[in-house]
Amino acid sequence: MSDHAKLDHILWYSFSEGQPQFTIGDDKARRYAPGFSTISANADPENPDFESLAKIWNIGDEFYCDRWSGEPPAGWSVEKETTMFKMVWDAPIPDPVDHTGMVTLGPEHAERALELAIMTNPGPFGLRTIELGDYYGYFDGDRLIAMSGERMSAPPYREVSGVCTHPDSQGRGLAKKLMLRIIRQQMERGEIPFLHVLTHNEVARGMYKRMGFRDHLETTVRVLKRLA
């Protein structure tokens, strides 16, 4: 496999090889199990098997998929469409960051994490998403004001995900510090950090580039809905 080629198809490698215990489906289509992020992966991303998709998504469900831009068959609709970059870490291991005030997020923080994700929309996020890896956050009293963690895994690649900051706490560099802790841990484990960012989110993408990420691949990303 060529350098970073697995990243081209990272959803499928994550769901079928790296994290099958968190997914459901078959050898043609898989998804995170209910409660996790509403994301689906296809063995052939450019030709999804809608019969297999119908086995894992209920009527009315909406979910994310990437690398497919064809016309949906009867009973399915494209609700949203844009593009995103897969970015891969291309820098030395970061220096250790000051952990003061950082909290390891566990099941007892799941509802607060979901509330922050709904408010800031870092991408598809479910109540159980923080079970997919290490998550860290900052609190102001009982309110979670920033977090970052891990989602997809397809060794040696590990995703940095769930990066978000409450609007009242932006500009303090909290999410960046959390990301640097995650990235350092991943590299200490011999993993290669990567992330997803929507193409139009130029502010975040610029920050990621300054941190040490580089663009790897730009792909279509869609929200599909099963109608019948």
Q: Give tens-digit pLDDT for 42-95.
A: 999 999 999 999 999 999 999 999 999 999 999 999 999 999 999 999 999 999
Bigger pLDDT: 4 vs 1:
4
Taking the C-alpha atoms of residue 168 and residue 148, their distance in angstroms, rounded to an integer, is 17
Q: Give tens-digit pLDDT for 115-138.
A: 999 999 999 999 999 999 999 999
Domains present along the chain, CATH in parentheses: 5-83+221-226 (3.40.630.30), 87-219 (3.40.630.30)
Say what the pLDDT of residue 2 is.
Answer: 47
Any residues with CB less than 8 A from the CB of 184 and at least 6 apart, and which? 93, 94, 95, 96, 97
The residue count of the chain comes to: 228
Beta bridge pairs of residue 34: 36
Beta bridge pairs of residue 147: 137, 164
* DSSP secondary structure letters along 78-122: EEEEEEEEEEEE-SPPPPP---TT-EE--GGGHHHHHHHHHHH--
Q: What mean pLDDT comes out for the span 159-168?
A: 96
Say what the pLDDT of residue 4 is.
Answer: 82
Three-state secondary structure string covering 130-159: HHHCCEEEEEECCEEEEEEEEEEEECCEEE
pTM equals 0.95
